[in-house]
Amino acid sequence: MKIVYLHQYFRTPDMSGGTRSYEFARRLVRNGHDVHVVTSDTDAAPDARRTWRTTVEAGAVVHWAAVPYRNAMSARDRLSAFGQFARLAATRAASLEQDVVFATSTPLTIALPAVYSSRRRRSPMVLEVRDLWPEVPIALGALRSPLTRRAATALEGWAYRNAAHVVALSPGMAAGVRARHPGAAVTVVPNGCDRALFADADAAGQALRARTPWLGDRPLILYAGTLGFVNDVGYLVRMAATLRRDRPDVRVAIVGQGAETARVRELATRADVLGRNLFMFDQMPKTEVVAFFGACDLAVSTVRDEPALHANSANKVFDGWAAGRPVAVNHEGWIADVLRRSGAGLVLPPADSAAAAELAGAFVTDPARTAAARTAARAVAATEFDRDLLFESFEAVLSRAVAPRSALSAIG
């Protein structure tokens, strides 16, 4: 198949951020498909807008549009970046030969260039949903006016109507799509565990501990991801304050950047935990963050206490399991169900960070419990969320989308 893969925030392992699209793109190439990725160069200088550069990443041709983007941007600047990329990507995608165009959100505006290319090239479009629209932005207060809510709802419906198939990252997201659009064809392909990338996590973690005086052989709780409004990383700061009082040997590490970085740092300073039992690090490439996962005793994924966020499929959860580490979340939903069923981590109370600190602190200081949870984490990574297993479902969705067109071509 000739596949045009649209993802505004495509990342390779040498960059910070999630690498789902990279991992799927390279596997598509490995299986003989021709893959062109259309994405944005978010680190481009502001005066470089409307320019393109092209690279080859693991056999996939990647087209980078110079559209700067930061999590710390204002809502207006973010919307501007979404619009700029949609315009540039539409023209570039439609210029490429394609049997199918695959578009992954967020943002949902990725559907605009995808549908344009699909119609111009008369190719099917497959849409991947990483967040439920418009439920999540409404719950977070990003869409406050009736006009913006109606516009978001209209864009969502239009995107689904134009999709030959929808890929959802969790059962909850799939249920949300089906509830609003009963006729939609939906397949769940969750985020996955890149076990090969994390194969040396244990050794890398030991090396990190050996060269890090504040850590040494102390228990470590890790948050590695975006520090955005939705993530509520202040929850970890509040946990650290309780841990410093009750379990001063436990360390908390936060690795990442985002709109809330300065606020989290200020909270940690006011709580007198920064540089004492809580340590903050800038975002780093996926290949480097492996050492932090390998060093930790518990990887944590936090979100605000909003039911609309319970369907999330955070990369950091699967990276923790890929490294053979227990994971904790502070919300209900399908990930919490997996944790309770498998024993591969903990479910922390969403509104009580002190109780969460007690649960997590007792866990990471109990070698027998952490050892059992590590075994469970490795089992979950290998049997349920291995990237190669999930890729088979992903590739099958694209093949089914192309099949009707191929049959018509054969008849003609």
Statement: 201-383 belongs to CATH 3.40.50.2000: yes
Q: For the sheet with 2-6, list strands across it.
A: 52-57, 60-65, 34-40, 2-6, 100-104, 125-129, 165-168, 186-188
What's the pLDDT at 409?
A: 47
Location of each CATH 3.40.50.2000 domain in the chain: 2-192+386-403, 201-383
Whole-angstrom distance, CA of residue 304 vs CA of residue 189: 24
Sequence-separated contacts (24+) of 53-60 with Cβ below 8 Å? 57/12, 57/22, 57/25, 57/26, 58/12, 58/22, 58/25, 58/26, 58/29, 59/26, 59/29, 59/30, 59/35, 60/5, 60/25, 60/26, 60/28, 60/29, 60/35, 60/36
Let me know if 170 is exposed, middle or buried by CB neighbors in 10 A (0-12, 13-18, 19+).
buried
High-pLDDT (> 90) share of the chain, % = 83
Whole-angstrom distance, CA of residue 247 vs CA of residue 258: 29
Q: What is the three-state SS of 203-256?
A: HHHHHHHHCCCCCCCCCEEEEECCCCHHHCCHHHHHHHHHHHHHCCCCEEEEEC
Whole-angstrom distance, CA of residue 239 vs CA of residue 241: 5
Whole-angstrom distance, CA of residue 65 vs CA of residue 53: 7
Q: Distance of alpha carbon 182 from its chain centroid, rounded?
A: 26
Q: List, for residues 207-247, the tens digit of each pLDDT value.
A: 999 999 999 999 999 999 999 999 999 999 999 999 999 99
Locate 140 and state its tokens.
Answer: 């977070």
Whole-angstrom distance, CA of residue 111 vs CA of residue 130: 13
Omega before 137 within 30 of 0, i.e. cis: no
CA atoms within 13 A on the CB side of 300: 33
Whole-angstrom distance, CA of residue 383 vs CA of residue 338: 13
The answer to whether the Cα torsion of 211, 215, 220, 226 is positive or negative is: negative
What's the pLDDT at 47?
A: 67
Going by their DSSP bridges, the two strands 165-168 and 125-129 should be labelled as parallel
Q: List, for residues 144-193, the tens digit of each pLDDT value.
A: 778 878 888 899 999 999 999 999 999 999 999 999 899 899 999 999 99
What's the pLDDT at 371?
A: 98
Report which of 97, 56, 106 is spatially closest to residue 79, judged by C-alpha positions. 106
Torsion of CA 91, 94, 95, 100, to 10 degrees: 150
Q: List, for residues 128-152, the tens digit of each pLDDT value.
A: 999 887 777 777 777 777 887 888 8
Helix spans in 95-134 (H):
111-121
Question: Which mean pLDDT values do the consecutive 10-residue runs of the chain (412 residues) have?
Answer: 97 94 98 98 76 96 93 77 94 98 92 98 96 76 78 90 97 93 94 97 98 98 96 98 98 96 98 98 96 98 94 96 98 98 98 97 98 98 98 98 64 38
Mean pLDDT over all residues of the chain? Answer: 93
What is the number of other CB atoms lying within 10 angstroms of the CB of residue 139?
16
Locate 149 and state its tokens.
Answer: 């809510």
Let me know if 362 is exposed, middle or buried by CB neighbors in 10 A (0-12, 13-18, 19+).
middle
If you classify domain 2-192+386-403 with CATH, what class do you get?
A: alpha beta
What's the pLDDT at 412?
A: 39
Whole-angstrom distance, CA of residue 377 vs CA of residue 339: 9
What's the pLDDT at 49?
A: 60
